[in-house]
């Protein structure tokens, strides 16, 4: 196979680029590849954070294409296209509106999509209780494993009480 660019030397570098879900393959000789990779990764390329993040929003992970959809966040007016373009969300409501799309983006950025850190005391009361319940449930399993059934029953009663509070 000859190089796609110069059509003279044999193609030894096979470059696959994925952009907005479109796969673009090129076969290049070493010289042309060096030039091309310079374009892709070199300092002159706009390898900027918004571009990279824009890419993260759905580009790499084949998220359903919502480009046709006309959904806009009712609070700030940002569409998913806008978010992809600027690499930023518009407001706190966008996180709800575009939740399914964000799930895979967040996983690709953080390797995770569930918050484990601090919870604000105000506005986070329910979340705090839920987290305590999770913790107690783990303690029940632990107690059962150690055959401390009485202790497990006590913790279970606490969990029931807390779940009542939540509902």
Residue 42 sits in the site that holds other proteins (CB under 8 A): no
Q: Which stretch binds other proteins (CB under 8 A): 2-10, 108-116, 142-150, 154-162?
A: 108-116
Q: Which of 7, 14, 45, 110 binds other proteins (CB under 8 A)?
A: 110
Residue 60 sits in the site that holds other proteins (CB under 8 A): no
Q: Whose structure tokens read 């373009």?
A: 85
Report the nearest approach of other proteins to the CB of residue 88 (Å). 5
- Residue by residue, what is the 3-state secondary structure of the chain? CECCCCCCCECCEEEEEEECCEEEEEEECHHHHHHHHHHHHCCCCCCCHHHHHHHHCCCCCCCCCCCCCCCECCCCCCEHHHHHHHCCCCCCCHHHHCHHHHHHHHHHHHCCCCCCCCCCCCCCHHHHHHHHHHHHHHHHHHHHHCCCHHHHHHHHHHHHHHHHHHC
Q: Which of 114, 145, 157, 164 binds other proteins (CB under 8 A)?
A: 114
Residue 95 sits in the site that holds other proteins (CB under 8 A): yes
Residue 104 sits in the site that holds other proteins (CB under 8 A): no
Q: Whose structure tokens read 């319940």?
A: 133
Q: Which CB, 2 or 128, lies closer to other proteins?
A: 128
Report the nearest approach of other proteins to the CB of residue 125 (Å). 11
List residues near other proteins by CB under 8 A: 49, 53, 56, 75-76, 78, 86-93, 95-96, 102, 105-106, 109-124, 126-127, 130
């Amino acid at each position: 196979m000859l190089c796609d660019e110069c059509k003279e030397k044999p193609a030894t570098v096979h470059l696959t680029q994925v952009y907005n879900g479109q796969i673009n393959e090129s076969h290049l000789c070493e010289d042309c590849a060096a030039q091309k990779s310079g374009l892709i990764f070199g300092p002159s390329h706009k390898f900027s954070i918004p571009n990279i993040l824009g890419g993260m929003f759905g580009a790499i992970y084949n998220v359903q294409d919502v480009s046709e959809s006309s959904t806009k966040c009712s609070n700030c007016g940002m569409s998913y296209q806008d978010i992809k373009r600027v690499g930023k969300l518009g407001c706190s409501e966008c996180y709800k509106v575009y939740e399914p799309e964000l799930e895979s983006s967040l996983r690709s950025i953080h390797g995770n999509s569930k918050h484990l850190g601090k919870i604000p005391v105000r506005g986070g009361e329910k979340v705090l209780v839920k987290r305590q319940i999770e913790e107690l449930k783990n303690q029940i399993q632990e107690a059962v494993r150690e055959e401390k059934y009485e202790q497990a029953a006590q913790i279970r009663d606490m969990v029931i009480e807390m779940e009542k509070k939540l509902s």
